[in-house]
Structure 1
């Protein structure tokens, strides 16, 4: 390869001018960062990274259950003190959180009657199932009044006496008991405890959706702060479980690991650049294009999308890490006697080909139909393009034209000479590729990992603890749910009542399920309410019947005027509908199980202790409902997501090959560039499968990054040609690039977070294999001077 031609570019700037321009660039980045921060709206909704739902279960999972009761339920246990102290802590914690608007429901077993608001008490006869089996005739009222006389002589008199005048049949207590959670835990000192009496239990439902990690973090922090105040100087400990608590724990661990990994990376990269170039300015100058790339990616996503997902930011900064290679190539090829503009211009065709190819690969994400991947593509493309253009048109003005030439290094020459003696493989590459494909295809165990739960770094003991708390609290099953769908609220409530009747029969017979919950338990259909209204006697009949029943008891008839007024109000009232529950605890319970859309409604029947899914599925189908397996739905979403990504990768491979062909135009040169990347991909897959790794979506994203690195390495090895000094400079640049990338991703490979570990392991393997294969395949034999 020949030296760059005489450079017509402006002469090199003085050191002070270069420093001033560098500071100006840094200032512009600071201003851009301030502006972007004001425009940036971070989102934590994981549904942005999921494909369009197709099946009913998928639609329920994505569109509705992300904000449903199961995903928003936090299970809390208080321990470490005697039962009386724990009960006091539970009551104090309940009192603090019940007033907090961040929580839709705080339940610890106390205050059962508070769930029945005063303004709704006249409607208890429309909500209670009593009138389904009884009438307010003389016989029934006589029986009830006799029972109240006995109650007033019992230890429960203090609770019963205030209710008798308005509620002699105790419908209020019947409803409060019916609205208790299914399989409610035991009560000690008025609050819930586990069966051993060692832990006070609470069930807390957040208003933040399950797909909102930020909202869940705020909720968890609020609970912990409230507990610290409620505990005071007493002993005790709090434990939180549930999807939200797990996501907060994972987020905290991710942030912690990202912090120390980032610190080690930064120190290591600065030291590596200083050792490689023996110039303190190089690490600082190299950071400018990379910072520009990050801000450009953030700005592009902020402008084109309504909200930027946190995963986009995290993945994006990882993926544009390849942009750090651009200034390194420039620094390694710069030397005394050649103007920086000439050096970068000679590199530009190769650099531009690599950038274009990588951007084309990410453009294919736009055919995935997944907004999160589209954001990732915009972030990466904008970032890489900005870093490349900054390296081409801005960085040369800041670089010292008298940088030490890496080609003058004796050690580097010794390494190049040793490499030159290594024979370049031919047919052995084909054999290696066939072996790799065979290992990847026939290694034992599943090829793909579809179970999202296995991607969550929740310790086994924490999962066991969560299962224990769910059993103690009777929390709903988070896998199965019955969906009753219809055109409006009334139709789905009527069908839900029929499903509930069948489920109750199956529960009573045993062996099917332990319990269930549904919206009609709290808000019966209007048809049921009207039927109960019809069974209420008119005012004159009820007064006459009541007088006859009171005559046979020691009670006075005039005491029951409030009862007569409530029955009259219930008889003439319009049936309750969901909007009538606004502002009450019942609204929370109904809204979590009754999902409304403009032209559609869905009632959810949550299940406890499901033992026979097939039997429950038949019960649901008999009423036109459906038992949904949300685990299967999540796995089918993963499969659909993967299929789209694989199609995108296939298209990217074709476009990438076409781009390289257009740039190089020679079959042998195209082969030398594409073969290392293709073979490296096969070997990465073989290595992962050989050690039993089941591949995930994160491995696929990492393979794209590894392929981009491989393309970059091969292009520059091929670009060096057979010129000895150019080969030395290219070898220096690629050693620095690969060591920097290997440091970053090797640390990620040690992470306890499956996502980071998958990406780190895959890319680290890719760096090693792409560098070695690039040397073996893409480099030209060295031509000694005549």
Structure 2
């Protein structure tokens, strides 16, 4: 325990430096173990429906979430085509990408040399027509024509082992469904003004770090390729959006933080007329942040970025703790005695606020558990450091900070205000009426409306997605089975029905794993249909009698057909290290005791027709937008249940601390009324409430409870009332500055938090001032 005697100036400086050194050491230790995560699934509750399970477990790995769509424009077609090829080559060599396509011949590399014989088990050519003399004669005649065409350089290397060009047929077949037109051997949009590319990242859609690396790689390579030209790149897709959101959030957080810091320094300097106070006031806040972060690092495997960002916002309330200590300091009273007299009230406020977050520990949501640990640890350590460390650093007070004519005049005016009684009931009734009767939906379940992505970027994405025939990110078909081969067979049976949907234009295109990896049953059937080597050799000899090709020109072809006929069925494990592996991995999802095959859809026009066909073929059409909305609703139910329990525990805590029904009601009433007023203002302005409004309500409630507790603590002592008023004016102005700036943010999440807390700060201060304070002359008239 530190000595309760005042320390010398040199000792206070030494102690402050020691405190800072401990904080620096703690920061270093925490950063050594800190592992930031961007997986939003940590903030989602347990999934219950099949669609929710797919959304939670596989959305970040699905075929639509890992696609980055690109267009290049601003130059003539040949230049754009050359830049497209150069960019594809550069990106394909990077480890960030599993697949890069631009309509060129790069897809020929999908089958490496070791797997080339398998082309005869993957192709559909011989399903309806046998590999016989008629087919070989027809194909070799066509090759003679090809060798005299501009395509000869492409055909000639393939010819000895692949006279029927199954490699090219597979490459064509594996082009994206509903692929755009090809000009100059690359994809162009319909107008022929832009080249189009698509890249599939290795990083999951929920991995912001991996997506950032991929986006940076694209911009870096394009900058080198397009140097000195007028070409410009448009990049869209879920990953690009997540990077843009992260960048905008960081930029806004920086300028808001800078303005907040300047405002904090100026406000504390004006309030206390000392350069030391801003520095001393920041120590408990820094301690709280490191304590919260350290607790999460110790108790969890990884710390989510939202936990860090939101946690530091929530513990911003601890800046009030040293302010109360500063404002109540006066000549003749030691800082230790001051801290001791404030401690019961401060501790009650801290305990009550922490209770609201304790309930999150039982929410079943990992992200909320992290947020609870961060906030509880931060608030507790800040309160303890304010009580037991900060008093040792405070100079003996040269004057009473509340001894101000302006403050005294303000308090006299406040004392003349009528005591609210029936008017509070009227306010509550009006607020409830607005909440209940305001037009529009009460809850916001559509997560897409929380995105800060600009409308023009979303429009570009829609255009590129349409031009490229990229898969729909909302709808997906699923097929479930016990093994991979079962779902591959099921998807093969589904294909004719999907083809009919494409023919009727209910669907523009689709993609499924069996396009790249047929089932073992299909592969065995194709093996049996292949002629044995001696028969094929005899047929080939007959055909070559009337052909310009040498008799031994196609010996590699005979060897490959024989190898395909004897080979074991190709499996997904055999595809590792090939571009096909990425395509299959996004569409064939193992899940412990089962496997799910996804069928990605593009250009879906008639969901009802697709759902009907799916149901009749053992598949299911999942609406991931509906799944996300139901998941949000489930999440909200858990948060509301936690808040209800927290309200009961909070009331019990205040009752234990105050023990008088009238005092308890005076303290809780402003907070309850403020909660109604916040909801009424937001609903009256047409705001649909989301999860971030709810969590912000907890912070607003905690602030209101602190204001009411300290007005109650002042009792009917006029001098103490003035000190409390001084402290709460400084506290509320600082908090109002922080959250008013957040309310002006272009980021919907920050705006929701900022507007909720800013309204709450103002209403809590006014209501606590009117309801919780006691008149200096007649304490018995306090409102119940």
What is the match of residue 216 of structure 1? Answer: 211
Paired residues of 2:331 and 2:398 also in contact (CA < 8 A): yes
- Of 20, 24, 28 in structure 1, the residue corresponding to residue 14 of structure 2 is 20
Paired residues of 1:242 and 1:466 also in contact (CA < 8 A): yes
Paired residues of 1:9 and 1:341 also in contact (CA < 8 A): no
What is the match of residue 574 of structure 1? Answer: 568
Q: Deviations over 1:388-422 (max 9, x none)?
A: 00011011111112242133211110000000000
- Looking at structure 2, the residues matched to 679 and 736 of structure 1 have their Cα atoms a distance apart, in angstroms, of 22
1:120 aligns with 2:119: no
SS of corresponding position for 2:553: helix
Higher mean Cα deviation, 533-542 or 593-602? Answer: 593-602
- Of 163, 167, 185 in structure 2, the residue corresponding to residue 168 of structure 1 is 163
- Of 83, 98, 104 in structure 2, the residue corresponding to residue 89 of structure 1 is 83
The runs of 5 or more residues in structure 1 that have no matched partner are 1-7
- Looking at structure 2, the residues matched to 541 and 39 of structure 1 have their Cα atoms a distance apart, in angstroms, of 67
**1:451-490 mapped onto 2 (5 Å cutoff):** 451-490=446-485
SS of corresponding position for 2:452: coil
1:355 aligns with 2:355: no
- Of 274, 290, 295 in structure 2, the residue corresponding to residue 295 of structure 1 is 290
1:497 aligns with 2:495: no
SS of corresponding position for 1:619: helix
What is the match of residue 656 of structure 1? Answer: 650
Paired residues of 1:137 and 1:545 also in contact (CA < 8 A): yes
What is the match of residue 441 of structure 1? Answer: 436
TM-score, normalised to structure 1's length? 0.97
SS of corresponding position for 1:76: strand
1:243 aligns with 2:208: no
The alpha carbon displacement at 1:188 in A equals 2.1
What is the match of residue 149 of structure 2? Answer: 154
The alpha carbon displacement at 1:784 in A equals 7.8
- Of 535, 538, 549 in structure 2, the residue corresponding to residue 541 of structure 1 is 535
SS of corresponding position for 1:595: strand
Paired residues of 2:63 and 2:600 also in contact (CA < 8 A): no
Paired residues of 1:361 and 1:653 also in contact (CA < 8 A): yes
- Of 165, 173, 181 in structure 1, the residue corresponding to residue 176 of structure 2 is 181
1:396 aligns with 2:391: yes
Paired residues of 1:487 and 1:601 also in contact (CA < 8 A): yes
- Looking at structure 2, the residues matched to 56 and 193 of structure 1 have their Cα atoms a distance apart, in angstroms, of 38
Q: Deviations over 1:447-493 (max 9, x none)?
A: 00000111001111111110000111111111111111111110010
- Looking at structure 2, the residues matched to 52 and 526 of structure 1 have their Cα atoms a distance apart, in angstroms, of 35
- Looking at structure 1, the residues matched to 713 and 478 of structure 2 have their Cα atoms a distance apart, in angstroms, of 61
What is the match of residue 622 of structure 2? Answer: 628
SS of corresponding position for 2:234: strand
- Looking at structure 1, the residues matched to 91 and 288 of structure 2 have their Cα atoms a distance apart, in angstroms, of 44
1:201 aligns with 2:196: yes
- Of 695, 703, 707 in structure 1, the residue corresponding to residue 701 of structure 2 is 707
SS of corresponding position for 1:590: helix
SS of corresponding position for 1:286: helix
- Looking at structure 1, the residues matched to 218 and 362 of structure 2 have their Cα atoms a distance apart, in angstroms, of 43
- Looking at structure 1, the residues matched to 395 and 329 of structure 2 have their Cα atoms a distance apart, in angstroms, of 9
Q: Deviations over 1:714-750 (max 9, x none)?
A: 0001111111001000000000000000000001110
SS of corresponding position for 2:554: helix
- Looking at structure 2, the residues matched to 39 and 122 of structure 1 have their Cα atoms a distance apart, in angstroms, of 49
- Looking at structure 2, the residues matched to 622 and 295 of structure 1 have their Cα atoms a distance apart, in angstroms, of 57
Paired residues of 1:277 and 1:404 also in contact (CA < 8 A): no
The alpha carbon displacement at 1:366 in A equals 1.2
- Looking at structure 2, the residues matched to 295 and 343 of structure 1 have their Cα atoms a distance apart, in angstroms, of 26
What is the match of residue 332 of structure 1? Answer: 327
Q: Deviations over 1:184-224 (max 9, x none)?
A: 11222222111112211110111111111121111111111
The alpha carbon displacement at 1:9 in A equals 7.0
What is the match of residue 719 of structure 2? Answer: 725
Distance 1:557 1:755, change over 3 A: same
What is the match of residue 744 of structure 1? Answer: 738
- Looking at structure 1, the residues matched to 4 and 160 of structure 2 have their Cα atoms a distance apart, in angstroms, of 99
- Of 638, 641, 647 in structure 2, the residue corresponding to residue 647 of structure 1 is 641
- Of 98, 103, 106 in structure 1, the residue corresponding to residue 97 of structure 2 is 103
The RMSD of aligned alpha carbons is 1.4
The alpha carbon displacement at 1:182 in A equals 0.8
- Looking at structure 2, the residues matched to 123 and 431 of structure 1 have their Cα atoms a distance apart, in angstroms, of 80
Paired residues of 2:479 and 2:620 also in contact (CA < 8 A): yes
- Looking at structure 2, the residues matched to 337 and 137 of structure 1 have their Cα atoms a distance apart, in angstroms, of 109
SS of corresponding position for 1:78: strand
What is the match of residue 379 of structure 2? Answer: 384
The alpha carbon displacement at 1:658 in A equals 0.5
What is the match of residue 258 of structure 1? Answer: 253
What is the match of residue 755 of structure 2? Answer: 761
1:37 aligns with 2:38: no
The alpha carbon displacement at 1:15 in A equals 1.2
The alpha carbon displacement at 1:555 in A equals 3.7
Paired residues of 2:654 and 2:664 also in contact (CA < 8 A): yes
1:430 aligns with 2:414: no
**1:261-280 mapped onto 2 (5 Å cutoff):** 261-280=256-275
- Looking at structure 1, the residues matched to 251 and 148 of structure 2 have their Cα atoms a distance apart, in angstroms, of 62
SS of corresponding position for 1:485: strand
- Looking at structure 2, the residues matched to 292 and 237 of structure 1 have their Cα atoms a distance apart, in angstroms, of 47
What is the match of residue 4 of structure 1? Answer: none
What is the match of residue 684 of structure 1? Answer: 678
Q: Deviations over 1:76-116 (max 9, x none)?
A: 11122222222222122111111111111111111232223
SS of corresponding position for 2:590: strand
Q: Deviations over 1:567-602 (max 9, x none)?
A: 111111111000111111111111111112342211
1:47 aligns with 2:45: no
The alpha carbon displacement at 1:623 in A equals 2.4
Paired residues of 1:72 and 1:209 also in contact (CA < 8 A): yes
Paired residues of 1:724 and 1:784 also in contact (CA < 8 A): no
Paired residues of 1:116 and 1:176 also in contact (CA < 8 A): no
The runs of 5 or more residues in structure 2 that have no matched partner are 780-784
Q: Deviations over 1:142-182 (max 9, x none)?
A: 22223323333434333333333222222111111111111
What is the match of residue 599 of structure 1? Answer: 593
**1:503-514 mapped onto 2 (5 Å cutoff):** 503-508=498-503, 510-514=504-508
1:310 aligns with 2:302: no
- Looking at structure 2, the residues matched to 203 and 522 of structure 1 have their Cα atoms a distance apart, in angstroms, of 18
- Of 533, 542, 553 in structure 2, the residue corresponding to residue 559 of structure 1 is 553
Q: Deviations over 1:292-313 (max 9, x none)?
A: 1011001000000000011001
Higher mean Cα deviation, 444-453 or 613-622? Answer: 613-622
Q: Deviations over 1:116-149 (max 9, x none)?
A: 3222221111000112101112222222223323
TM-score, normalised to structure 2's length? 0.97
What is the match of residue 5 of structure 1? Answer: none
- Of 66, 70, 75 in structure 1, the residue corresponding to residue 69 of structure 2 is 75
